[in-house]
Amino acid sequence: MAVLCLARGAFTCATKHAGRYSRVPFLSGVSAPAGVRVRRNSCRDTGRGDGPARFVCYRLPHRAVLAIQGPDTGPFLQGIVTNDVGLLEEPGLTALYSHMLNVQGRTLYDVMLYSLKGAEEGQGVFLECDGTLKDSIVKHLKMYKLRRKLTINPCPELSVWAVLPKQKNAGQEASKPELCSPDKALVWDADPRTQEMGWRLVLDSRVDPLDIVASCQKGDTGEYHRHRYTIGLPEGARDLPPGLALPLESNLVFMRGISFSKGCYIGQELTARTHHTGVVRKRLMPVRLSAPVGDLEDGAALQTRSGKPAGKHRSGVGELGLGLVRLAHAKETLTLKSSGDAAVSLEASVPDWWPKDKSGD
């Protein structure tokens, strides 16, 4: 099986298996072969893009997409990622969050897996990952591929978008946006980590999401990151440093990114032992600084007012960020020092999307 991404503009993505191609949407502006009728609808054509926008589409240039295809795709990934890949074969489920770990049980990469449109059941996925780590992930996957029947191909012609409600009433789940041209969306599903992150959309880069998602406007990627840090959700190498972050301290359970019943995978032993002992003394939590600090180094030590170690600052933007905080000091006002030796106070908080019984860990 092979994947052909954008075969000279003819298809957004076509899969070939046993000599057959499965058709997927033609790009707008590209002529279809003779005799093939193509429906071309967009939100602008139907008028469903008119009126006040209720959703915001954020382009995520820091995220990249790989296509993994072949009859051994499921068993191959099952031994590498923390989540149960078999769940993608269940009706209605097309998106799965997961981590890849090293043999010491520390996170290497955070990924999202999507059922590949047009592929036979269980025989293809799109893998969304941190774009700066794409080559490392491909190398990591190929190291364990051995003789398995599958292909691993980057798809640079695809773009990843996050769709979030423009306004959300507290305690109410936002309704899913309507798609005017669902056949153009290679991936369209709720973000599997938490409903606070809206929906995930993967398109050909030449397709405008405003032609697909009704009542939507484009937003700045910086706003997307501020939203993530506000609710305390990590994403990518800055938030989850490869080889350093521990999956359970990074709230992988809360983000529904791990299975404790599927069997062995790389890094499983230490992770399962930690889970079953129930001892997690530090967690990645949203923090708010008393003032933005431009020269703050990632990994700066956190301290209590009395000078006791309380964790480390992980990453952030402006006054918002993530900190790996000792739970014993999570309710205290903490301090950290910038590289200019200036002290800044900060407070950690418990996200609303965490399970309620974990707020007092």
Q: What is the CA radius of gyration of the chain?
A: 22
- Residue 255 counted as domain residue: no
Asked if residue 41 has pLDDT above 80, the reply is no
What pLDDT, on a 0 to 100 scale, did the predictor assign at position 123? 86
Cβ atoms of 47 and 126 closer than 8 Å: no
- Residue 346 counted as domain residue: yes
For residue 220, count other CB atoms closer than 10 A to its CB.
Answer: 11
**Does residue 251 or residue 338 have the better pLDDT?**
251
Locate 150 and state its tokens.
């599958």
Do 165 and 307 lie in a common domain? no
User: What's the mean pLDDT in 163-177?
Assistant: 78
Contacts for 103 with CB less than 8 Å, ≥ 6 apart: 266, 267
User: What's the mean pLDDT in 83-108?
Assistant: 94
What pLDDT, on a 0 to 100 scale, did the predictor assign at position 8? 29
Asked if residue 335 has pLDDT above 50, the reply is yes
Cβ atoms of 5 and 202 closer than 8 Å: no
- Residue 244 counted as domain residue: no
Asked if residue 49 has pLDDT above 70, the reply is no
Do 217 and 134 lie in a common domain? yes
For residue 12, count other CB atoms closer than 10 A to its CB.
Answer: 27
What pLDDT, on a 0 to 100 scale, did the predictor assign at position 122? 63
Do 222 and 316 lie in a common domain? no
What pLDDT, on a 0 to 100 scale, did the predictor assign at position 159? 98
Asked if residue 44 has pLDDT above 70, the reply is no
- Residue 247 counted as domain residue: no
Asked if residue 6 has pLDDT above 60, the reply is no
Do 180 and 315 lie in a common domain? no
What pLDDT, on a 0 to 100 scale, did the predictor assign at position 170? 52
Give the pairing of strands 187-190 and 199-204. Answer: antiparallel
The per-residue pLDDT of the chain, averaged, comes to 85
pLDDT digits (tens, 9 = 90+) for 301-325: 999 999 999 999 999 998 999 999 9
- Give the number of domains in the chain: 2
Asked if residue 361 has pLDDT above 70, the reply is no
Do 112 and 193 lie in a common domain? yes
Cβ atoms of 198 and 161 closer than 8 Å: no
For residue 142, count CB atoms less than 10 angstroms from its CB and return exposed for 0-12, middle for 13-18, buried for 19 or more. exposed
Low-confidence winner among 39-48, 212-221, 272-281, 310-319 (lowest mean pLDDT):
39-48
**Cα angle 326-327-332, degrees, rounded to a multiple of 5:** 90
What pLDDT, on a 0 to 100 scale, did the predictor assign at position 35? 47
Give the pairing of strands 216-219 and 55-59. Answer: parallel
Locate 188 and state its tokens.
């369209």
pLDDT digits (tens, 9 = 90+) for 83-92: 999 999 888 8
Per-residue pLDDT band at 17 (split at 50, 70, 90): very low
Token match 């093939």: residue? 36
pTM for this predicted structure: 0.85
Do 217 and 330 lie in a common domain? no
Contacts for 15 with CB less than 8 Å, ≥ 6 apart: 1, 2, 3, 4, 21, 22, 69, 116, 118, 119, 124
Altogether, the residues listed in the chain come to a count of 361
- Residue 266 counted as domain residue: no
What pLDDT, on a 0 to 100 scale, did the predictor assign at position 343? 81
Do 226 and 292 lie in a common domain? no
Do 227 and 100 lie in a common domain? yes
What pLDDT, on a 0 to 100 scale, did the predictor assign at position 89? 87
- Residue 248 counted as domain residue: no
Token match 């072969």: residue? 33
Q: Which amino acid is at 106?
A: R
Per-residue pLDDT band at 9 (split at 50, 70, 90): very low
Locate 106 and state its tokens.
């520390």
**Does residue 289 or residue 168 have the better pLDDT?**
289
User: What's the mean pLDDT in 69-89?
Assistant: 95
Asked if residue 46 has pLDDT above 60, the reply is yes
What pLDDT, on a 0 to 100 scale, did the predictor assign at position 113? 98
Q: How many CA atoms lie within 13 A of 240 on its CB side?
A: 26
- Which domain covers residue 320, as residue numbers? 285-358
In angstroms, rounded to a whole number, what is the distance separating the alpha carbons of residues 182 and 113?
19
Contacts for 135 with CB less than 8 Å, ≥ 6 apart: none
In angstroms, rounded to a whole number, what is the distance separating the alpha carbons of residues 73 and 65?
16
Q: How many CA atoms lie within 13 A of 309 on its CB side?
A: 8
Asked if residue 13 has pLDDT above 50, the reply is no
Q: pLDDT > 90: what percent of the chain?
A: 67
CA distances from 302 to 33, 129, 322, 360 (A): 62, 29, 12, 20
Q: Tell which of 231, 256, 275 closes a domain.
A: 231
Cβ atoms of 254 and 356 closer than 8 Å: no
**Does residue 117 or residue 188 have the better pLDDT?**
188
User: Which CATH number does the domain housing residue 158 bear?
Assistant: 3.30.1360.120
Asked if residue 54 has pLDDT above 60, the reply is yes
Do 61 and 207 lie in a common domain? yes
The three-state secondary structure class of 131 is helix
User: What's the mean pLDDT in 111-137?
Assistant: 89
Quick one: DSSP state of residue 75?
H
For residue 322, count other CB atoms closer than 10 A to its CB.
Answer: 26
